[in-house]
Amino acid sequence: MRLLRVTPDGVEVPMHTVRPGELFAEASLFSARYHCDAVALADSEVLLYPKGELTRALRNDPGGLWEFTAELARRLQALRARLEIVQIRSAPERVLQYLRLRCSADGVARLDGTLKHLAQEIGLTHEALYRALSTLERGGGIRRRPGEIRLLPGRAAKHRGE
């Protein structure tokens, strides 16, 4: 699922990509309505929790409240990382930093959605993203496969001139 806001001039601004098992729309616990649209990127099953019941459950379950708070903290960290990424001027460097932050221990970043969604998430046009990926691939910094991008050891750092 992708959470989007639409600006007054009709531009879609991605707010968050919801991954399997993740909660979303938690901000609506503290407002009269939620200010994002949720758009399914694939066939999805969504569980709905009535606001009153969820609020009572969190107040009565310190462990559950702690887990919920930890999830909110992870989201805040992810938002800060995204803000960092979009401030990077060089498209290849922006892509590399995104990949560094998203890679598993084996150096693989699994993509949620399409490359167009990724471009939108990191504030690039899809054309700029495709050029950056080609540059990184030609330079030996990454290897692409359907649904994933692998950072190649040492090569991605060399792109930065290290």
* 102 shares a domain with 65: no
Asked if residue 152 lies in contact with residue 145, where contact means CB atoms within 8 angstroms, the answer is: no
25 shares a domain with 68 = yes
Domain end marker among 61, 85, 109:
85
Same-domain check for residues 13 and 79: yes
For residue 8, which phi and psi values (nearest 5 degrees)?
A: -55, -30
**Domain final residue pick, 85, 100, 126:** 85
In the structure encoding, which two tokens stand for residue 94, read together? Answer: 């922006």
Q: What is the pTM of this model?
A: 0.68
Query: Which pLDDT value is given to residue 156?
Result: 54
58 and 117 together in one domain = no
pLDDT of residue 120: 86
54 near 65, Cβ under 8 Å? no
Spatial neighbors of 24 by CB under 8 A, at least 6 apart, are 1, 3, 16, 18, 38
H/E element holding 131?
A: helix 126-138
pLDDT at residue 150, rounded to an integer: 94
Residue 71's domain comprises 2-85
Residue numbers of the chain with a pLDDT score lower than 70: 155-162
For 98-124, what is each residue's pLDDT tens digit?
Answer: 999 989 989 999 987 789 889 988 999
Q: How far apart are CA 139 and CA 95, in angstroms?
A: 14
Residues 73, 103 within the same domain: no
Question: Do 68 and 51 fall within a single domain?
Answer: yes
- pLDDT at site 108: 94
What is the rounded CA–CA span in Å between residue 94 and residue 23? Answer: 27
* Helix, strand, or coil (residue 158): helix
